[in-house]
Structure 1
Amino acid sequence: MTTPDPALRALIDRILQARSERTPLAIQGGNTKAFYGEAVQGEPLDVRPLAGISSYEPSELVLTARAGTPLAEVEAALAECGQCLPFEPPRFGEGGTLGGMVAAGLSGPARPSVGSIRDHVLGLSLVNGKGELLSFGGQVMKNVAGYDVSRLMVGALGVLGVICEVSLKVLPAAPAQQTVRFELAQADALKAVNTWAGQPLPLQASAWWDGMLVLRLAGAGAAVDAALTRLGGEVIEPALAASFWQGLRDHADEFFVGAARAVQAGATLWRLSVPATAPPLGLSGEMLIEWGGAQRWLCTSTPAPAVRAAAAAVGGHATMFRSLNKAPGVFSALPAPLERIHRELKRAFDPDGILNPGRFYPWL
């Protein structure tokens, strides 16, 4: 394989060398999400030399950039044209990259209304564990026929390949926003937000914590004003509201700051993915609820089996998001059919197991 791109050529050569030597590689960008998933033992493979926005067509709502491009650079370019990454990827620190965003697959507060990262990936290129440069998808939604392999890489944490370039569908920023809050107990908040989600309201994001439900309305000005009249509640001043949602997105608000301290003292921060209509789970600890009830953050010292059992009882699962003790396993065990699929995919993309080995499970 030949390529005129020195950075890409160097990356491929490094993977080929690692394969020949059976040396594991730990893929790195800005390292802002190194805490997420199981620990990886391997030589660092820095993707940041693969940087830069390749193309951006505001009129087509499509941006293509290389994986090492700082997320801040991408968002700044979009903001200049009044556009954004609508799924609000969390930024856990400065230096996060586009490739890390896709590999982690994490979405922010607006995810229920606009979709996840996976819904906005149009195509990507990657280098697999055999040193092959592969491209999937394209730059339009209709380009996909059959199974969309590009979206398979979203949330794969680099175990299948090193992402090199990504094409994303972007959207215009909402012309109007308002944030309102209500004093409600957890059960009442869940009932209210699920009721409102089924109505023609411009409900973009929600969050409940410590007896307070906060809603963000976004869309056309007339629709937002009408929703405010209909819902009532206390309107939050725009600057304060923006600070709150940014803190929630980046895990820098009061709940997550407190959780970080608790984790250092031995607690665990769990990310519970459950049906939005699931009732309160009855677990001890501090809980923050997003996505209309579908994403629940729990900071607790409750043993892992009890947390996972409570999530499974309502049809969900629990991920150990931050903890000093990952011995119980970061991710829930897979049913046998899904484990077999994961093993086969790993074998197909990375037969020698050199890319981020063990980031998901010891065998992946």
Structure 2
Amino acid sequence: MRSEPFSADDSARLIEQVQRALANRTPLFIRGGNSKAFLGRAVDGEAIDTRSHRGIVSYDPTELIMTARAGTSVSEINAVLDAAGQVLPCEPPAFGDAATIGGCVASGLSGPRRPWSGSVRDFVLGCRVITGQGKHLRFGGEVMKNVAGYDASRLLAGSFGCLGLITEVSLKVLPKARLQRSLTLDLAAADVLRELSTWRKAALPVSGACYIDGKLHIRLEGGTGSVNAAVDRIGGVDHDMRFWEQLREHRLPFFDDPRQLWRISLPNNSPIDPMPGNVLIDWAGAQRWLKSDASPDTIRQSAQAAGGHATCFTSSSTTEPFHPLAAPLLRFHKQLKQQLDPNGIFNPGRMYDGL
């Protein structure tokens, strides 16, 4: 068992504020470290701050399970895991030292390893949440075998606080790879997807694939023998391993471009066709970062034509940062919101107007 330097259960205060908001019909803006405040629509509501509700509740390295309160910082969790030779497999971006594990789950963002390890949602075993009725409920459990309410806890991942206030989360963690290597290859854009497909069929231990400025960056993770064999097959030259953290945290020079930043989600085999701006290809082609001055409609039409969708990562650059939902899907989202937050007090409008 490991504990953080500071740990406190402040759930009573959070419950009281939610119940007061319900009585007064006051909307609440859920905030932790506020590291992802740029993502989504502005919320006009009273702030409810989770950072005082923090600490690692339990951690069993042998069972690969950690439970932490929502206000616990991601950096502290990573430090505890690192000391035990373990990691959060989906390597969620923090965008600063203030990021909390509650915000990590609520945003549902994953790093470069996501296509090979899974998303944040895939590693959520259970959650405690304050509902729109002011009740403090537990969904899921701390082991994979406990599936009661498992889907409900996974719904909270990527919900941006619109369905309830997460107070605690249990996550599956994994051991670090024995060996990591980062390689760079000079490659034409037309050859990138073909090579990645070949390596995938050969079951090479790839855990990151990014293409920018005519160079394909590859990360390999696994056992010593498998990684070294993959290096021999792929070739290329060694590259600084810090590249992957810089990519995850948007600290590469590409992200310094003052134009709007868009995240384009596509099927991973989508052709590398020209887009209206500068493009960085991540997730072996499934995620493409775009810097562009083109209109939101132009960018979304381009993404939709390729079978994907586009999200704006630049604060206040568009009134609808998330890709508009089809009418049946929006109706389902509204029904879900009505069930879990019938009075609409949690982060109203953060994702979509009227939600």
State the TM-score, normalizing by the size of structure 1: 0.93
Count of residues in correspondence between the two structures:
348
Name the amino acid aligned to 1:335: A
Correspondence for 2:266: 274
- Partners of 2:206 and 2:260 lie apart in 1 by 31
Correspondence for 2:281: 289
CA contact (8 A) 1:89 1:101 kept: yes
With over 3 angstroms needed to count, the CA separation of the structure-2 counterparts of 1:16 and 1:145, relative to structure 1, is: closer
User: Which of 120, 125, 144 is residue 122 of structure 1 equivalent to?
Assistant: 125
Q: Which runs of 4+ in 1 moved over 2 A?
A: none
CA contact (8 A) 1:29 1:48 kept: yes
CA contact (8 A) 1:281 1:311 kept: no
Taking the TM superposition and a 5 Å limit, the aligned residue runs for 1:86-101 are 86-101=89-104
- SS at 2:10's partner residue? helix
Task: Please say which of residues 92-101 and 142-151 is displaced more in the overlay.
Answer: 142-151
CA contact (8 A) 2:140 2:149 kept: no
Task: Please say which of residues 76-85 and 317-326 is displaced more in the overlay.
Answer: 317-326
Correspondence for 1:180: 183
The answer to whether structure 1 residue 250 and structure 2 residue 270 are counterparts is no
Deviation, 1:84, is 0.6
- Partners of 1:131 and 1:307 lie apart in 2 by 40
CA contact (8 A) 2:303 2:310 kept: yes
Correspondence for 2:341: 350
Name the amino acid aligned to 1:269: L
1:10-69 CA distances to partner (integer Å, 9 max, x unpaired)?
A: 111101111111111110101101111111111110011110000000000000000001
Deviation, 1:147, is 6.2
- Partners of 1:127 and 1:340 lie apart in 2 by 24
Identity rate, percent: 49
Taking the TM superposition and a 5 Å limit, the aligned residue runs for 1:16-95 are 16-95=19-98
- SS at 1:60's partner residue? coil
Gap regions ≥5 residues in structure 2: 1-7
1:284-318 CA distances to partner (integer Å, 9 max, x unpaired)?
A: 21111111100000010111111111111121111
Taking the TM superposition and a 5 Å limit, the aligned residue runs for 1:322-333 are 322-327=314-319, 329-333=320-324
CA contact (8 A) 1:12 1:131 kept: yes
CA RMSD of aligned residues (A): 1.3
Name the amino acid aligned to 1:55: S
- SS at 1:148's partner residue? helix
State the TM-score, normalizing by the size of structure 2: 0.95
With over 3 angstroms needed to count, the CA separation of the structure-2 counterparts of 1:324 and 1:75, relative to structure 1, is: same
- SS at 1:18's partner residue? helix
Correspondence for 1:214: 217
Deviation, 1:185, is 2.5
The answer to whether structure 1 residue 194 and structure 2 residue 197 are counterparts is yes
- Partners of 1:146 and 1:41 lie apart in 2 by 31
Name the amino acid aligned to 2:51: R
CA contact (8 A) 1:194 1:276 kept: no
With over 3 angstroms needed to count, the CA separation of the structure-2 counterparts of 1:163 and 1:146, relative to structure 1, is: closer
Gap regions ≥5 residues in structure 1: none
- Partners of 1:96 and 1:129 lie apart in 2 by 24
Structure with the bigger percentage of helix: 1
